[in-house]
Amino acid sequence: MRCEEVQERLSALIDEQLSQRERELVTNHLHTCQACMEEYQQLRRFVEFCRQMEAPEPRIDLWREFQPVLAEIIAEQRLPMSQRLRRQWSRLVSRVCYGIILFLQVVTYQLTLTLSRYIVEPEKPAYIRPMQG
Protein backbone atom coordinates (compact mmCIF):
# COMPACT_ATOMS: atom_id res chain seq x y z
CA MET A 1 0.00 0.00 0.00
CA ARG A 2 1.26 3.44 -0.87
CA CYS A 3 1.46 6.30 1.65
CA GLU A 4 -1.45 8.13 0.03
CA GLU A 5 -3.68 5.10 0.23
CA VAL A 6 -2.75 4.55 3.86
CA GLN A 7 -3.34 8.16 4.82
CA GLU A 8 -6.75 8.12 3.15
CA ARG A 9 -7.70 5.22 5.42
CA LEU A 10 -6.33 6.57 8.70
CA SER A 11 -9.56 8.03 9.99
CA ALA A 12 -11.40 4.84 9.02
CA LEU A 13 -8.76 2.90 10.96
CA ILE A 14 -9.32 5.05 14.04
CA ASP A 15 -13.07 4.65 13.72
CA GLU A 16 -12.57 0.88 13.29
CA GLN A 17 -14.34 0.87 9.96
CA LEU A 18 -11.73 -1.00 7.92
CA SER A 19 -12.04 -4.58 6.84
CA GLN A 20 -9.73 -7.09 8.46
CA ARG A 21 -7.55 -7.18 5.32
CA GLU A 22 -7.32 -3.39 4.96
CA ARG A 23 -6.53 -2.94 8.61
CA GLU A 24 -3.61 -5.36 8.36
CA LEU A 25 -2.25 -3.61 5.28
CA VAL A 26 -2.53 -0.18 6.90
CA THR A 27 -1.02 -1.20 10.24
CA ASN A 28 1.81 -3.05 8.50
CA HIS A 29 2.59 0.09 6.54
CA LEU A 30 2.44 2.22 9.69
CA HIS A 31 5.08 0.05 11.37
CA THR A 32 7.46 0.61 8.48
CA CYS A 33 6.71 4.21 7.52
CA GLN A 34 7.61 7.00 9.94
CA ALA A 35 5.70 9.71 8.04
CA CYS A 36 2.42 7.81 8.01
CA MET A 37 2.87 6.79 11.65
CA GLU A 38 3.21 10.45 12.64
CA GLU A 39 0.19 11.33 10.56
CA TYR A 40 -1.75 8.55 12.27
CA GLN A 41 -0.74 9.62 15.78
CA GLN A 42 -1.61 13.26 15.11
CA LEU A 43 -4.98 12.29 13.74
CA ARG A 44 -5.66 9.96 16.67
CA ARG A 45 -4.78 12.68 19.17
CA PHE A 46 -7.07 15.08 17.36
CA VAL A 47 -9.94 12.58 17.33
CA GLU A 48 -9.47 11.88 21.05
CA PHE A 49 -9.49 15.60 21.73
CA CYS A 50 -12.74 16.00 19.78
CA ARG A 51 -14.32 13.11 21.64
CA GLN A 52 -13.46 14.73 24.94
CA MET A 53 -15.04 17.95 23.74
CA GLU A 54 -18.19 16.06 22.84
CA ALA A 55 -18.44 14.38 26.24
CA PRO A 56 -21.60 15.67 27.89
CA GLU A 57 -20.82 18.21 30.56
CA PRO A 58 -22.50 17.80 33.93
CA ARG A 59 -25.53 20.01 33.63
CA ILE A 60 -25.83 22.54 36.40
CA ASP A 61 -29.43 22.80 37.37
CA LEU A 62 -29.54 26.57 37.53
CA TRP A 63 -33.31 26.68 37.48
CA ARG A 64 -33.61 24.55 40.61
CA GLU A 65 -31.32 26.96 42.46
CA PHE A 66 -32.85 30.07 41.02
CA GLN A 67 -36.49 29.11 41.37
CA PRO A 68 -36.85 29.54 45.18
CA VAL A 69 -35.15 32.93 44.97
CA LEU A 70 -37.52 33.98 42.23
CA ALA A 71 -40.51 32.66 44.18
CA GLU A 72 -39.42 34.73 47.16
CA ILE A 73 -39.11 37.86 45.05
CA ILE A 74 -42.57 37.32 43.53
CA ALA A 75 -44.09 36.61 46.93
CA GLU A 76 -42.60 39.82 48.23
CA GLN A 77 -44.03 41.76 45.29
CA ARG A 78 -47.50 40.53 46.23
CA LEU A 79 -47.22 41.64 49.84
CA PRO A 80 -49.05 44.80 50.87
CA MET A 81 -47.00 47.95 50.75
CA SER A 82 -46.62 48.28 54.52
CA GLN A 83 -45.16 44.78 54.92
CA ARG A 84 -42.89 45.24 51.95
CA LEU A 85 -41.56 48.49 53.40
CA ARG A 86 -41.02 46.82 56.76
CA ARG A 87 -39.04 44.04 55.12
CA GLN A 88 -36.95 46.48 53.13
CA TRP A 89 -36.38 48.52 56.25
CA SER A 90 -35.15 45.53 58.29
CA ARG A 91 -32.90 44.50 55.41
CA LEU A 92 -31.48 48.01 55.26
CA VAL A 93 -30.91 48.06 59.04
CA SER A 94 -29.07 44.74 58.97
CA ARG A 95 -26.87 45.99 56.14
CA VAL A 96 -26.09 49.21 58.01
CA CYS A 97 -25.24 47.19 61.13
CA TYR A 98 -22.93 45.02 59.10
CA GLY A 99 -21.28 48.12 57.72
CA ILE A 100 -20.81 49.56 61.19
CA ILE A 101 -19.19 46.34 62.40
CA LEU A 102 -16.76 46.38 59.47
CA PHE A 103 -16.01 50.05 60.09
CA LEU A 104 -15.33 49.42 63.79
CA GLN A 105 -12.99 46.58 62.92
CA VAL A 106 -10.98 48.82 60.62
CA VAL A 107 -10.88 51.60 63.23
CA THR A 108 -9.76 49.18 65.95
CA TYR A 109 -7.04 47.83 63.72
CA GLN A 110 -5.78 51.32 62.90
CA LEU A 111 -5.89 52.28 66.57
CA THR A 112 -3.86 49.22 67.54
CA LEU A 113 -1.24 50.11 64.94
CA THR A 114 -1.09 53.72 66.16
CA LEU A 115 -0.86 52.81 69.84
CA SER A 116 1.75 50.11 69.29
CA ARG A 117 4.21 52.91 68.53
CA TYR A 118 3.91 54.11 72.13
CA ILE A 119 4.51 50.74 73.71
CA VAL A 120 8.01 50.88 75.17
CA GLU A 121 9.92 47.81 76.11
CA PRO A 122 10.49 47.91 79.89
CA GLU A 123 14.15 48.48 80.72
CA LYS A 124 15.89 45.55 82.38
CA PRO A 125 16.97 46.09 85.97
CA ALA A 126 20.66 46.88 86.51
CA TYR A 127 21.50 43.62 88.24
CA ILE A 128 20.55 41.58 85.16
CA ARG A 129 22.90 43.52 82.88
CA PRO A 130 26.14 41.70 82.18
CA MET A 131 29.23 43.03 83.94
CA GLN A 132 31.35 45.22 81.72
CA GLY A 133 35.14 45.20 81.59
Q: Which residues bind Zn ion (CB under 5 A)?
A: 3, 33, 36
Instruction: Report the nearest approach of Zn ion to the CB of residue 36 (Å).
Output: 3
d(CA 115, CA 120): 11
Nearer to Zn ion, 5 or 72 (CB): 5
Nearer to Zn ion, 13 or 36 (CB): 36
d(CA 5, CA 36): 10
d(CA 36, CA 47): 16
Instruction: Report the nearest approach of Zn ion to the CB of residue 13 (Å).
Output: 13
Instruction: Report the nearest approach of Zn ion to the CB of residue 9 (Å).
Output: 11
Q: Which residues of 52-85 are buried (b: 16+ CB within 10 A; e: fewer)?
A: eeeeeeeeeeeeeeeeeeeeeeeeeeeeeeeeee
Nearer to Zn ion, 4 or 54 (CB): 4
Nearer to Zn ion, 27 or 108 (CB): 27
Instruction: Report the nearest approach of Zn ion to the CB of residue 27 (Å).
Output: 12
